[in-house]
Amino acid sequence: MNTTTQMKRWSAILWLWSLVLLPGLPGNAQNLTLQQISLPSGFEIQIFAEDVPDARSMSLSPNGTLFVGTRNAGKVYALKDTDQDNR
């Protein structure tokens, strides 16, 4: 195999790995307002809690507790809507 073919092959392999690995790297979070977020028809968005730092993923339990995981802090917050105001 000649050098040009090897370089093309390695370039392709590195490019494919970058597609796999780069999306998982932490980036700078954008501070978007709700008006800047585009949603499909029929969907709505609102702020539930503003004091959860670096929120990344959520799961709603059957009893209504919202569990929010952080991106880098390694913490999970349990949020309860005790006054039923959806915040």
pLDDT digits (tens, 9 = 90+) for 61-76: 888 888 999 888 889 9
Q: How far apart are the first and last CA of the chain?
A: 63
Strand partners, 76: 69
Q: Which residues of the chain have pLDDT under 50?
A: none
pTM recorded for the entire structure = 0.53
Neighbouring residues of 73: CB distance < 8 A, sequence distance ≥ 6: 53, 54
Residue with tokens 């979070």: 29
Residue with tokens 């390694």: 74
